[in-house]
Amino acid sequence: MADLSINSALVVGGTNSTRDTGTAGETITAGQAIFLNSTTNKWMKSDNNGTGTRTVHGLALNGASLDQPVSMLKSGDITIGATLVAGTDYWLSATAGGICPRADVTTGMDAIQIGIAKSTTVLAVDIQDPGVTL
């Protein structure tokens, strides 16, 4: 399996979504998993095998470069711009900002669930981070 191939132009938050805004701490693409860096107070890409990046606060709703505004979806439905398998759970991957199916989460990675596919296009985001490293 592999990370979702997200078409950032098709990423749209659902009407039931909870959102937040902030400033990008690096280049971010719509649909990427991001977290708020507590040192810089800027949004950065989450990374399941990085140091200090193994957390997810939401998914970017727009692309942004360093120091530009970024919107993010914290929970609720998102049309993710990728082909999903309905009923499949999706997780933070080892690629910065990436989202992958559960089968790609391996030894040494944290088990951080992003959400479950409601259809082939819509992901129900409900981030779960039990603090467990495989």
Residue 124 β-bridge partners: 77, 116
Does the structure show a pLDDT above 70 at 88?
yes
Could you tell me the CATH number of the domain that includes residue 24? Answer: 2.40.300
Does the structure show a pLDDT above 90 at 101?
yes
Structure tokens at 66: 């360093």
> Does 120 fall in a domain?
yes
> Does 3 fall in a domain?
no
> Does 134 fall in a domain?
no
> Does 133 fall in a domain?
no
> Does 33 fall in a domain?
yes
Domain span at 39: 8-128
Q: How many domains does the chain have?
A: 1
Q: Tell me how many degrees the CA angle 122-111-4 measures, rounded to the nearest 5.
A: 35
pLDDT in tens, 40-57: 999 999 998 877 888 999
34, 45, 61, 91, 108 from 29: Cα distances, Å:
10, 9, 8, 17, 26
The pTM is what?
Answer: 0.94
> Does 101 fall in a domain?
yes
